[in-house]
Structure 1
Amino acid sequence: MNNTAALRPVLPILIAAAIMLSLSFGLRQSLGLFMPSLTGDIAVTITDFTFAIAIQNLIWGIFQPLAGMFADRWGFRPVMVAGAISYVIGMSLLASANGVLMVILGAGICVGVAMACASFAMTLSVTSRLVPASIRSTALGIVSAAGSVGAIATAPLGQFLESFYDWRVGLIGFTIIALLIVPSAWIAGRVDKEAPLELSPDNTDRLSAGAAIGVAFRHVPFVVMAIAYFVCGMQLIFITTHLPSYLLLCGMDPMLGASALGIIAGFNVLGSIFFGWAGGRWPKMVLLGMIYISRSLVIALYFMLPPTPTTTILFAAIMGFLWLGVSPLVAGSVVEMFGLRWQAMIQGFAFFSHQIGSFMGAFGGGWLFDQLGSYNLALQIGVSLGLFAGTAQIIFAFYKPPKKPLPA
């Protein structure tokens, strides 16, 4: 009852933060819908377009820790609003693109910066500051689920506008949707006044950014979690990028790949909520390890068997459930290890590892396929690393680093 009463004044901020995440992540996830039409209409190849998306992932990872530092220095509102404006600019550039430079600037650089400033890390940091510790993990899971809700809503709209008009009209529609991120970011930015941070002497809250980074990278469980996050990004982006191609190679209906990605998004909502709830009851690092091991076993089993519509749909449902459940667990673990002040920044360094993995999953999987004519080696590497990362994550969940005094 006390928790419910405490949430009432901040509920508009939480809703706005969830909407900001839902729109930013949903639009980003749906950009691939326009690739065939865009590359067929202007002087841009598929390689150019996928390179822009790869740049987006790297820019997102590089800017994420910086966005966390800026939020501490200037407040969440200016950083998130700036990210929202960058999103609008990126969509506008992409809608008016007539060559590769505009595609890279729009879909790559501007959207990458926007995702760092107005997406997962910032939204989860806002949520962590607003909700009581007793329900924080569950709240993080519910807010994380908003990202998939956005993908479910924006993808059909983009497909409709492209089918009935053209890709430019579809991206103009996405630009209008991106405009809604601006007021959402503004309202979510009320966290600066509603939840002023009380610095704790028991964690990194009283440290400078540089000192907090040093503490984080000397903390063995965090380093293990960050490295395992690399494998997470590699596996997930490999699936979203290469599953449709794999199914076509196996002679399956092209719509099966699109349906599988939609099912992944739907079940991801359930998984995010479940693992957020579970993280409040069981060790978060153990749950992370179980997710990585379960994903790897499911991937291995699915690709060992000839694909059918039934096995593909089942694979997509299980993978969707295991998809973004890592987000509330990683965010909650960072808060438990280091406190609230530097959550977005420290989580950003872990996320940079994730984005390097994403780049390798998309590019490396394609490169190995071009060299070998199959995905077998890429799958063997992905499954092996996933099992290793999951096992290490569970082992180090029980590692207690020696207690050292924090830097003055």
Structure 2
Amino acid sequence: MSRSLDDTQFSKSLIYMLIGSAFILALSLGIRHGFGLYLVPMSHEFGWSHQVFSLAIATQNLLWGAVQPFTGALADKYGSKIVVAVGGVLYCIGLLLMSISSQAWMLNLSAGLIIGLALSATSFSVLLSAVGRAAHPSKRSMAMGIASAAGSFGQFIMLPTTLLMIKSVGWSAALIISAILVALVVPLAWMLKAPAYVAPKAVTQSTQANLSFKQILKIAFTHKPFLFLALGFLVCGFQVVFLGIHLPGYLVDHGFDASSGTIFLALVGLFNIVGTYAAGYLGDKFSKPHLLMGIYGLRGIAIVSFLVIPLSTWTIYTFGIVMGILWLSTVPLTNGIVANMFGIKYLTMLSGIVFFTHQIGSFFGGWLGGLNHDLTGNYNLMWIGSIALSIFGVIVHFFVNEKAVVND
């Protein structure tokens, strides 16, 4: 139940939630961040083309996005901790089934269907919305940035850990160990219990309390800045999943060993901490749409530079650092804009709608990457598409503003 708190009580409860959210995101996204390392060993063992594994991960991302608004609606109604706990159970089951997936349909069931459902309950939309709901509006972007940054540390830790497990005990046992780790999400979910922030009535009067679920949806789907924001998030999904799944294979094609791709992804996870924290900090001080325009523009410049400069270990690592800073810095800014537009009552559901377009991009970034490689033996068209989408991302966010449509 929402209630007002004094500053001391509020700070303690929010910090408690931030810690829980950070650990859950670290486990959930850290394990997912390493899925690209399973592409080569699983494909080699079962004689699969790259498209088989890519399609399963693409299905995971699409389903994750498709059910995210519904998962968000459940979290808005029943609370985040129940939804996250159920997601942790599903994630554990999905990883265990993935560890025995010897056929394409089993991989699609486990890595695609079950883990896709699990991620919708244990990732950004639910966790950051819970944090955003508990934070003071003036500190909302910062709180989301802190949770994202701390969660990003898990991506940094899990990449070398996953590679070490695959090399030491094999890919199947590595997935079983990952399932044991992700089971910790269930008890951690009970840390998500900070009450929603309620501004004093003397300061602001809520206009959203009297609006129904259907009325909020109608307002959202007729509000052009919200639709442009959702469209822009597609770019992020395409780029991060293409690079996360296929860059290790791209490097192998160019004569580098698996450790180069692992270090690249680890650097992405490490510097993602810097990027998401900085985005949250800057989002409370400057225009979030303008910051998003800058992020997508810099991504395009980074990709062009990576392709033009002769490939070497140092260019790979530099690309990892730059892309890490830009990786998920879009997330606290995007969620913060949604909160500013519509308030916090239906924040998780509305953030889930925006995230769905992100996952449409993720689907195509993962699947088309594998299809392009199988048909041509390279990723040239995917690189061109990523650059073009960066330009599109800059343009579309020009039409986004964060003016309140519905107040807290």
TM superposition score normalised by structure 1? 0.89
Gaps of at least 5 residues in structure 1 are none
Deviations 1:176-207 (A, max 9, x none): 1011000011221x24xx33778986554532
2:305 aligned residue (301, 306, 310): 301
State the match for 1:47 in structure 2: 51
Query: Displacement of 1:28 after TM fit?
Result: 1.3
1:396 aligned residue (377, 383, 399): 399
**CA distance in structure 1 between the aligned counterparts of 2:68 and 2:239, rounded to whole angstroms:** 21
Instruction: Give yes or no for the alignment of 1:245 onto 2:246.
Output: no
State the match for 1:324 in structure 2: 328
1:333 aligned residue (337, 342, 358): 337
State the match for 2:196 in structure 1: 195
SS where residue 281 of structure 1 aligns? Answer: coil
Gaps of at least 5 residues in structure 2 are 1-5
State the match for 2:66 in structure 1: 62
1:6 aligned residue (4, 7, 10): 10
State the match for 1:135 in structure 2: 139
| Equivalences, count | 399
Structure 1 residue identity aligned to 2:247: L
SS where residue 327 of structure 2 aligns? Answer: coil
When residues 204 and 379 of structure 1 are mapped into structure 2, their CA distance, relative to the original with a 3 A threshold, is: farther
Q: Is the 8 A contact 1:264 1:316 kept in 2?
A: yes
Instruction: Give yes or no for the alignment of 1:209 onto 2:210.
Output: no
State the match for 1:383 in structure 2: 387
**CA distance in structure 1 between the aligned counterparts of 2:247 and 2:259, rounded to whole angstroms:** 12
Deviations 1:43-100 (A, max 9, x none): 7664332222111101100110001111222222221111111111112212333433
Once the two structures are superposed, the pairs formed by residues 211-360 of structure 1 within 5 Å of their partners are 211-360=215-364
State the match for 1:175 in structure 2: 179
Instruction: Give yes or no for the alignment of 1:97 onto 2:98.
Output: no
**CA distance in structure 2 between the aligned counterparts of 1:368 and 1:163, rounded to whole angstroms:** 28
Task: Using the aligned pairs only, state the percent identity.
Answer: 34
Query: Displacement of 1:371 after TM fit?
Result: 4.5
Once the two structures are superposed, the pairs formed by residues 10-89 of structure 1 within 5 Å of their partners are 10-41=14-45, 46-89=50-93
Query: Displacement of 1:387 after TM fit?
Result: 1.3
State the match for 2:163 in structure 1: 159
Deviations 1:238-296 (A, max 9, x none): 22233233333333454322221111111111001001100000011110111011111
Structure with the bigger RCO (C-alpha within 8 Å, sep 6+) is 2
Q: Is the 8 A contact 2:141 2:332 kept in 1?
A: yes
**CA distance in structure 2 between the aligned counterparts of 1:305 and 1:79, rounded to whole angstroms:** 46
Query: Displacement of 1:5 after TM fit?
Result: 5.7
Q: Is the 8 A contact 1:52 1:103 kept in 2?
A: yes
Q: Is the 8 A contact 2:65 2:359 kept in 1?
A: yes
